[in-house]
Amino acid sequence: MDWVAIGLTVKLAALTTLVLAIVGLPLAYWLATTRRRWRAVVDAAVAVPLLLPPTVLGFYVLMSTGPNTAVGRLYERLFDATLPFSFTGILLASVLYNLPFAVRPFASGFASVDRRLIEAARCLGASGPRTFLTVVLPLSWPAVLAGLVLAFAHTVGEFGVVLMVGGNIPGVTRTIALAIYDDVQALDYAPANEASALLVVFAVAVLGVTYSLQRRALPL
Amino acid sequence: MTLLDVDFEFRYPPSTGSGEAGREGASVACRWRDPVGEPRVTVFLGASGSGKTTVLRCLAGLERPQRGHVRFGDHVWFDAERRVHLPPDRRDVGVLFQEYALFPHLTVAQNIAFGARHLTHAAVAARVGELLDTFRLRGLEGRRPRQLSGGQQQRVALARAVFRVPKLLLLDEPLSAVDRPTGDELREELRSLIRALAIPAYIVSHDRVDALTLADRTVLIDGGRIIQSGTTQEVFDHPASAAAARLVGVDTILLGRIAAVEDGLARIIVAGREVRAQAPAEAGHEAALCIRAEDVALARHDVTDSSVMNRWRATIVTETMEGPFVRVGLDCGFRLSALVTRDAWRRLALKPGDDAWAIVKAATIRSLPRN
């Protein structure tokens, strides 16, 4: 078993999920509550990775973060490093690619919270963020948890985006899905079989968890 | 004296699918100035869709008008020109929402204390305890909202709204969430609680009984505009237009003082005349009396040998044909409307200007307590 690849994969999935919680929760809340026309555009933009082949997204991330691009130059000046073929690079790509898997469950959870409860909280002197933490989140946590679990699981099984942006550098960007591919290319079926079985068990477990969360009524 | 100075216009946005369909292009415009130094109760009376709830939402800061201003004393809550729009959490108003909007994941005590800020645990507990007593919620503090009756939910919602002693109390259809008998009971309770709180209150309602029982002042709203406002007595006595008359009801509503109560029957003085009806409250209190025109009979002479308690000398003022009936306007010292059959009207041979007697059984008069 390639423990280095497994460790790297878990690290990537955990950090992706963390970033998605920080970026995705406010974004989803905005999508669920705003009445601005912009909403539809942002909603569609978030959903785009659902339809795009991962290689296409990876290709554009690679193209827009190279050392000769504005983003690449800025990043190099700030951190003295390059994004492509680095762990940070695949983290960025993962976050973008997984945005809909986290944001859509979040947003549908938030939208199902009675708007009057939010208004009541505001009229009782609670600020927007406070209302979010004390009313919205406690009433929609199953959806939030489902979104986080889905994003984590989806990152674990990712292939195309990571390969395009990260290459296949052991210990840096070689995730378990890439390791399986390598093993098969080398006709080394035993480790590929082990890792694949592990991923199947993981996927089934995650599905079980999300389904039970979705079926769970509000914790009243 | 603190003044609430309101003058704004709110235009409904194009439909966003948020349940405001059919209102695009409509607007709500209002303008009034109210001294809010004394704890008065104002009822905004209007049919559904008249825009009365929108007025309340603009006061609370839940909606942003396109034009005008809302000022409370020295505080500017909203000013379109200066681009000021304080969010609800910075206006210090207490709102009682339709169907109460209690937080389902919090207990009664946690709901009541939701507005607590910068208070020690002990201070919060003390204030919650005080409100539990005032609102008769002792013993329920650990329950969730879904384990409460409609009346208990209303009291929790009100206690929650006044935890921080707001400058204004805004109540949106406080009695629409419950069925009629329960509603009558809750209205009684609401009346005494609002009085006890001594905070100026604005109540939005489609039910004229709410105005009659709760309001010092009544504001009539129709099509997003204030069509009449004044003391409840003025508005109900003299509706200024057909739309106003529809809102207050065309039948007779009398406001008077209970002079005496005997065996549950009250003698109520209205414009110097005595009305007998079921006692809605103790002697010395105010009462509102609703008399349906079909319950008023007419006679040429006083009828002394019948069971009827109310016999008033009256002058015929108007006669209007209504199908098989005639609606007769009477002046008994107060205005009274009677509905009699054409046949009976012909037999009486009365016409405007004639004197007659109006006869009303005490049991047919709906009497309501008033402040």
Look at residue B290 in the predicted model and tell me its pLDDT.
85
Look at residue A219 in the predicted model and tell me its pLDDT.
45
| Three-state secondary structure readout of chain B | CCEEEEEEEEECCCCCCCCCCCCCCCEEEEEEEEECCCCCEEEEEECCCCCHHHHHHHHHCCCCCCEEEEEECCEEEEECCCCEECCHHHCCEEEECCCCCCCCCCCHHHHHHHHCCCCCHHHHHHHHHHHHHHCCCCCCCCCCHHHCCHHHHHHHHHHHHCCCCCCEEEEECCCCCCCHHHHHHHHHHHHHHHHHHCCCEEEEECCHHHHHHHCCEEEEEECCEEEEEEEHHHHHHCCCCHHHHHHHCCCEEEEEEEEEEECCEEEEEECCEEEEEECCCCCCCEEEEEECHHHEEEECCCCCCCCCCEEEEEEEEEEEEECCEEEEEEECCCEEEEEEEHHHHHHHCCCCCCEEEEEECHHHCEEEEEC
How many domains would you assign to chain B?
2
Q: Please say if the pLDDT value at position B224 is more than 50.
A: yes
A117 with B60: Cβ contact below 8 A: no
List, for residues A71-109, the tens digit of each pLDDT value. Answer: 888 888 888 888 888 999 999 999 999 999 999 999 999
Residues of B in contact with A35 (CB under 8 A): 13, 16, 18
* CA distance, residue B103 to nearest chain A CA (Å): 7
Q: Which residues are paired to B10 by β-bridges?
A: B28
Here the tokens at position B16 are: 């966003």
A134 with B97: Cβ contact below 8 A: no
Domain at B206, CATH number: 3.40.50.300
Q: Which of 137-196 (A) contact B at CB < 8 A?
A: 138-139
Same domain, yes or no: B181 and B295: no
Q: Which of 278-307 (B) contact A at CB < 8 A?
A: none
Averaged pLDDT for residues A160-183:
89
Same domain, yes or no: B20 and B146: yes
Q: How many CB atoms lie within 10 A of CB B329?
A: 18
Same domain, yes or no: B236 and B269: no
Option in B104, B115, B146 nearest A125 (CB): B115
pTM summary value: 0.77
Same domain, yes or no: B264 and B214: no
Look at residue B140 in the predicted model and tell me its pLDDT.
95
How many domains would you assign to chain A?
1
B101 with A127: Cβ contact below 8 A: no
Q: Which of B28-32, B233-237, B240-244 has the lowest mean pLDDT?
A: B240-244
- Of the three residues B247, B270, B285, the one that is the final residue of a domain is B247
Look at residue B369 in the predicted model and tell me its pLDDT.
82
Averaged pLDDT for residues A1-7:
87
Rounded CA-CA distance A97/B56 in Å is: 44
Q: Which value does ipTM take for this structure?
A: 0.78
* Residue B39 φ/ψ, nearest 5 degrees: -75, 80
Among B12, B54, B7, B50, residue whose Cα is nearest residue B243: B50
Same domain, yes or no: B142 and B108: yes
Option in A116, A134, A138 nearest B97 (CB): A116
Q: Please say if the pLDDT value at position A218 is more than 50.
A: no
Measured between CB atoms, does A126 come within 8 Å of chain B? yes
Q: What is the mean pLDDT of chain B?
A: 89
Domain span including residue B272? 252-300+307-369
B161 with A124: Cβ contact below 8 A: yes
Averaged pLDDT for residues B102-106:
96
Same domain, yes or no: B237 and B208: yes
Tell how strand B41-46 and strand B217-222 pair up. parallel
B114 with A218: Cβ contact below 8 A: no
Confidence of residue A220 (pLDDT cuts 50, 70, 90): very low
Number of Cβ pairs closer than 8 Å across A and B? 67
Domain span including residue A120? 3-217
**What distances in angstroms separate CA A124 from CA A211, B88, B94, B165, one per listed residue?**
35, 8, 7, 11
Rounded CA-CA distance A53/B26 in Å is: 47
Averaged pLDDT for residues B201-218:
90
Domain at A13, CATH number: 1.10.3720.10
Here the tokens at position B106 are: 């919090």
Among B189, B182, B185, residue whose Cα is nearest residue B157: B189
User: Which of A33, A124, A133 has the highest number of chain B CBs within 10 A, making it the mutation to test binding with B?
Assistant: A124
A119 with B146: Cβ contact below 8 A: no
Q: Please say if the pLDDT value at position B107 is more than 80.
A: yes
Measured between CB atoms, does B101 come within 8 Å of chain A? yes
Residues of A in contact with B93 (CB under 8 A): 123
- Which residues have CB under 8 Å from B224's CB, separation 6+? B26, B27, B28, B29, B50, B51, B54
A125 with B117: Cβ contact below 8 A: yes
A116 with B99: Cβ contact below 8 A: yes
B103 with A135: Cβ contact below 8 A: yes
